[in-house]
Amino acid sequence: MDARDKQLLRSLRLELCTEVLVDGLVIQYLYQEGILTDSHVQEIKSQTTSQRKTMMLLDILPTRGPKAFDAFLDSLQEFPWVKEKLMMKRKEMTVQDPADVTEIAPCVLKTSPTDQQLNKLARRLGPEWEHIALCLGLSHTDIYRCKVNHPHNLQSQIVAAFVLWRQRLGKKATIQNLQAGLMAEEVDPSVIQYMLE
């Protein structure tokens, strides 16, 4: 899913939770289209309220590839007003032109990120941080440990994971490797720019 669509879902999160009931056709359609797996469907259905089910779906969708947003739009047949609103907002949002992104100097790319830079990065990431950590070579056990050590603070979990990555890889833990991990998860390039400011 591209950064614009992720941002759109994030900005309308609370509204979608009150408007869309994912129990019915929405989940089944996304499952049929291969966007959701069996375990995703079970995880969503295990939530106690409709709003929590929708929130869980909104957490999962950005991680499900480039077709996820369009499939989500198609699944909203019972909610045409929501689909229309999402499509209008999507048109309004301007996509950052790749030419606007300034190149990062090669000497900067070869350095390790500082604690301050990792903190800034953590502020900009959401649930996708786990996939980024896996791309960088951390294991599911490492991620679990970061979550257990910082149960109530997402930012601390993310920072802990990146610090662990930096400790493990030493000099190989460069901004260039970090950027590659972020790009693999389709994180907006502006996030790296913000980290380096």
How would you write 88-141 as a 3-class SS string? HHHHHCCCCCHHHCCCCCHHHHCCCCCHHHHHHHHHHCCCCHHHHHHHCCCCHH
Q: Is the pTM value of this prediction over 0.75? A: no
- pLDDT-based confidence at residue 145 (cuts at 50, 70, 90): very high
Residues 6+ apart with CB under 8 A from 179: 104, 109, 192
User: What's the pLDDT tens digit per position in 23-76?
Assistant: 778 999 999 999 899 888 998 889 888 888 888 898 888 888 888 899 999 999
**71 and 35 Cβ atoms separated by less than 8 Å:** yes
Q: Which residue segments constitute the domains of the chain, with CATH numbers given?
A: 3-95 (1.10.533.10), 106-196 (1.10.533.10)
